[in-house]
Amino acid sequence: SLYGFPAGATTFTVTNLNDSGPGSLRQAILDTNATADDDTIVFQSGLSGTITLTSGELVISSDLTIDGLEATVLAISGNHTSRIFTINFGTTVIIEGLTIKEGQPAGNGGGILNNGTLNVSNSILSGNSADSGGGIFNNEGAILTMSNSTIDGLKLDHLNAGAGGGIANTAGGTLTVINSTVSNNWAVDGGGIDNAGMATVRNSSISGNKGIGGIFNSGTLMVINSTLSGNFTIWGGGGILNTNGPNHSTLTVINSTITGNTASDGGGITNFAGNILILGNSIVAGNTASMGKEINNFGVFTSQGHNLFGENGASEVEGGTLATSDIVPTVGISAILAPLGNYGGPTQTHLLVPDSPAINAGDNALIPAGFTTDQRGFPRIQAGTVDIGAVEVGEAGATDIPTLSQWAALGLTALLLGLSGWWLWRMKSSA
């Protein structure tokens, strides 16, 4: 377990996959709600499969840790008729090692509606849908931390309403996403994440989301050591749209990579008037839009320097002034970044290719305190100077880390060569 069980707390064991009754998860939650303790729910060893909810969502009203076996082993389904969990106000909950899927309530929060303090780790949220917050809806005053988890394939139910296909963080909410993937979700505002409160995304990948791109920010958002790739919108801000909220919105992007996103304007980022955009040590290149291919800025844009913008000699930054240390490469995107893939670590990234102009071109002073690794968890500073973007490759540049398929290809090649040699030997021997 990632989290230790609280001293003196009661541990309840789920022994079956039933919706209700003795040994069920629902009964265990009812039992923990009846106590004032910080209890724990565990699952009987060897239990696997899906708990399908047929009598409504699971409401948690007492501090609780749900310690799942493993997300690939045990799932909870809303049966396309209800959400899975509601966390009540004033309640602290930890959910670890579960798949939360097929939630579909008449309201917000397809998988989880959080009104308290929630930590989700080593879990998968998939195939949920809602009005807002297809995966998780984080309410006003609520605190949500998601780590080492995946939110995938979620959508909002109404074309003209809803925000945050993966996560919706409302005004007054606090969101932290760490070492996680938010991918292939859909919403009108923020295909991946809609943030109207305070949010930090670090060491994470936001990719393949649709609606208003990867992230829709109308609050305060910091993106560090993260990748936004392949997100899409027919409006502005393919990677991130920084727009008006109750107050002026602030978006800060440090040591991150924003590439391969598509929009009508601001393929990488659109920053609306009155809002603040700050970038340092980051790559915004290889995006697609009819205006401001990389950035379309109408607000306050501050480059802290050592960013890489555009390709083939054009920055494609509209309405903003670059710092003297920013780089506008003369080469195309293929000479800067490798395709999105698995290059080590828990999330997908774009590796810097050999001789990429982003290598050793950052500013060590811009790295936030306490950040000693890149997005993958590899040492952040190599060869003395930080690289620009989410990934650190060191002095010479990237050598692709072989994936299983690559090793398989090498093995197959060796096998074929061996068989070829054997066949030639056999033919000579029989001649």
Token pair for 83? 């959400």
- pLDDT for 430: 39
- Buried b or exposed e, range 347-368, using 16+ CB within 10 angstroms: bbbbbbbeebbbbbbbbeebbe
- Asked whether the beta carbons of 201 and 221 are under 8 A apart, the reply is yes
Q: Is the pLDDT of residue 34 over 50?
A: yes
- pLDDT for 159: 43
Q: Is the pLDDT of residue 404 over 80?
A: no
Average pLDDT over residues 389-415: 53
The rounded distance, in Å, linking the Cα atoms of 113 and 129 is: 12
pLDDT band at 427 (very low <50, low <70, confident <90, very high): very low
- pLDDT for 60: 98
CA-CA distances (angstroms) from residue 231 to 53, 289, 351? 33, 12, 18
pTM, two decimals, is 0.89
Label the pairing between strands 167-169 and 39-43.
Answer: unpaired
Q: Is the pLDDT of residue 18 over 90?
A: yes
Average pLDDT over residues 31-55: 96
Look over the chain and give the mean of its residue pLDDT values, rounded to a whole number.
Answer: 89
Residue 412's H or E segment, with its range, is helix 404-430
Q: Is the pLDDT of residue 421 over 60?
A: no
- pLDDT for 367: 98
- pLDDT for 154: 59
Average pLDDT over residues 114-120: 99
Label the pairing between strands 385-386 and 381-382.
Answer: antiparallel
Average pLDDT over residues 5-30: 90
- pLDDT for 395: 57
Task: Indicate the SS3 state at residue 385.
Answer: strand
